[in-house]
């Protein structure tokens, strides 16, 4: 099957992670999956959520926010107003937060809140996977800098995490779907994995279609290949 951008079925788009894109953040990464571009920035507040104090939960908190800028899509996307976030954005930012908390020692944060903001500059499919991958790199970089400043003795991030999309289009399993492929896919799946090869989350569904166990195994194998390439890109900018 010939893909719209002439990639092979198991080939990622061009991946670029560029650090320190937002100068006022503790750390930031511009995460590019082909034409999808997301700014991932980390800031830290010296207080933690009220609910943690009330419930007596030790340590700190890590949370994420996700938004698509009005010019990120071909047709202008309305800017969120009055603090209202659409359901899709809420679901994605919860996924980003879960993915990062899975690899961070929250107790080691102390009484702090770590914010990870993911803002989509350009959307061509895979904005949530580009967000998670860029955010993880930015978070590790931010923690390294805070260790150097004496905030912690050890980086609270236990391992890296990355995410990639896979799917089935015209019966063919594909890696890292662009927008047109994602739009037309019979099956769409997002896979989040740690650098130790563990799954954090697998989101998959048939779009008016079904898939077999063998097809799911093929898609997960593609995802594992893609995640390894993303982890290599993360390590490259953290080196």
* Cβ atoms within 10 Å, residue 56: 6
Place of tokens 């969120």: 80
pLDDT at 85: 74
pLDDT at 222: 98
Q: Following CA atoms 158, 162, 167, 173 in sequence, which dihedral angle do they give, to the nearest 10 degrees?
A: -90
Q: Burial level of 129, CB count in 10 A (0-12/13-18/19+)?
A: buried
pLDDT at 5: 87
In whole angstroms, what is the distance from residue 207 CA to residue 185 CA? 7
Query: Would you say residue 208 has pLDDT above 90?
Result: no
The model's confidence at residue 72, banded by pLDDT at 50, 70 and 90, is confident
Superfamily for domain range 15-238: GHMP Kinase, N-terminal domain (3.30.230.70)
Taking only the tens place, the pLDDT of each residue in 101-156 is 999 999 999 999 999 999 999 999 999 999 999 999 999 999 999 999 999 999 99
Give strand pairing partners of 36.
Answer: 33
Confirm if 37 and 126 have CB atoms less than 8 A apart. no
In whole angstroms, what is the distance from residue 16 CA to residue 32 CA? 5
Q: What is this structure's pTM?
A: 0.94
Each domain of the chain, given as residue ranges in start order, spans 15-238
Query: Would you say residue 83 has pLDDT above 70?
Result: no
């Amino acid at each position: 099957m010939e893909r719209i951008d002439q990639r092979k079925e198991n080939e990622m788009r061009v991946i670029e992670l560029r650090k320190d894109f937002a100068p006022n953040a503790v750390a930031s990464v511009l995460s590019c999956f082909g034409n999808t571009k997301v700014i991932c920035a980390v800031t830290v507040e010296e207080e933690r959520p009220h609910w943690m104090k009330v419930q007596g939960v030790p340590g700190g908190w890590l949370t994420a926010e996700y938004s698509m800028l009005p010019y990120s899509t071909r047709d202008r996307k309305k800017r969120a107003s009055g603090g209202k976030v659409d359901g899709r954005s809420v679901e994605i930012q919860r996924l980003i937060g879960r993915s990062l908390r899975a690899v961070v020692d929250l107790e080691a944060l102390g009484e702090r809140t770590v914010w990870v903001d993911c803002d989509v500059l350009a959307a061509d499919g895979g904005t949530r996977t580009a967000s998670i991958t860029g955010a993880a790199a930015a978070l590790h970089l931010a923690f390294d800098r805070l260790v150097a400043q004496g905030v912690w003795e050890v980086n609270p991030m236990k391992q890296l995490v990355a995410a990639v999309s896979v799917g089935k289009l015209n019966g063919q399993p594909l890696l890292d779907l662009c927008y047109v492929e994602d739009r037309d896919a019979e099956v769409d799946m997002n896979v989040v994995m740690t650098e130790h090869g563990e799954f954090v989350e697998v989101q998959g569904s048939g779009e008016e279609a079904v898939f077999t166990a063998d097809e799911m195994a093929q898609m997960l194998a593609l995802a594992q290949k893609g995640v390894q390439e993303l982890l290599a890109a993360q390590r490259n900018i953290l080196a």
